[in-house]
Amino acid sequence: MTTANTIVLVVDDKPAIAELLKYSLHEDEWIWHSVPSLAQAWDFIGRERPELLLQESMLRQEGGMRLLARLRGERRLRDKPVILLAAECGEGERGTPPPVPEFIPQPPPDEAPDERLLSLGRLVLDPLSCSVRVGNHKVEVRHAEYRLLRFLLCHPGQVFSRAQLLEHLWAAHDTLDQRTVDVHVLRLRKALGRAKSLIKTVRGAGYMLSGG
């Protein structure tokens, strides 16, 4: 529980979002600090010991989940409350969160519900209903494969290594075998049927979603 003079650290590389969070979640007796990088966050945690962290899950230049994984790996810090922040696609992936105390979305951009559909060719994912369609046919996908597909649809044409996918989607890149990603890709391709060719294997690099 937060109390008077609670130190709160916001880890976000977008200053406007950090300020918006401070304003939206304002408490008179909270002491707010914000840093734009994981290195600065870790340094601050070592010096100031904040009681609460609000962390962007996908920093633009570094894997945002790395800090969470490091905290959970430190015995003296593993119980520290962390709230993961995730924006709508276009500003960051809003996938299903890993098991942490709380998860809240950043304020989504103003847009009509129809514009939130993620699509590539005949492949359509609706985040509101958590459904996937290929043409007019609904596709049943497992939870892990849904997260993987949504992440790739948010970054079409971008190649991600197995380690990056483990970090972004499972908050781990050292504790899980990278072949785990291959298994989920195989299952997703099987589920997509005619649309499976959209998931490309880039030899020596990883996977990408592309209509080309």
Q: Sketch the domain layout of the chain as residue ranges.
A: 7-105, 113-209
Does CATH number 3.50.50.60 belong to domain 7-105? no
Q: Is pLDDT above 60 for 169? A: yes
pLDDT tens per residue across span 19-63: 777 766 665 567 888 888 888 888 888 888 888 888 776 665 555
| 35 SS3 class | strand
| 129 SS3 class | coil
Angle of the 162-170 helix axis to the 179-192 helix axis, nearest 10: 80
Domain covering 113-209 in this structure, CATH number: 1.10.10.10
Instruction: Provide the pLDDT confidence category of residue 14 given band limits of 50, 70 and 90.
Output: confident
Instruction: Provide the pLDDT confidence category of residue 16 given band limits of 50, 70 and 90.
Output: confident
Helices within the chain (DSSP H only): 15-24, 38-48, 65-73, 143-154, 162-170, 179-192
* pTM of the complete model beyond 0.75: no
Instruction: Provide the pLDDT confidence category of residue 74 given band limits of 50, 70 and 90.
Output: confident
Torsion, CA 15, CA 17, CA 18, CA 21, rounded to 10: 160
Q: Are 202 and 159 in contact (CB under 8 A)?
A: yes
Mean pLDDT throughout 114-133?
83
Instruction: Provide the pLDDT confidence category of residue 128 given band limits of 50, 70 and 90.
Output: confident
Instruction: Provide the pLDDT confidence category of residue 76 given band limits of 50, 70 and 90.
Output: confident
Mean pLDDT, the chain, as a whole number?
75
- Quote the CA–CA distance of 75 and 90 in Å, as a whole number: 35
Mean pLDDT throughout 73-93?
65
Instruction: Provide the pLDDT confidence category of residue 109 given band limits of 50, 70 and 90.
Output: very low
DSSP 83: E
Instruction: Provide the pLDDT confidence category of residue 208 given band limits of 50, 70 and 90.
Output: very high
Report phi then psi at 149, rounded to 5.
Answer: -65, -45
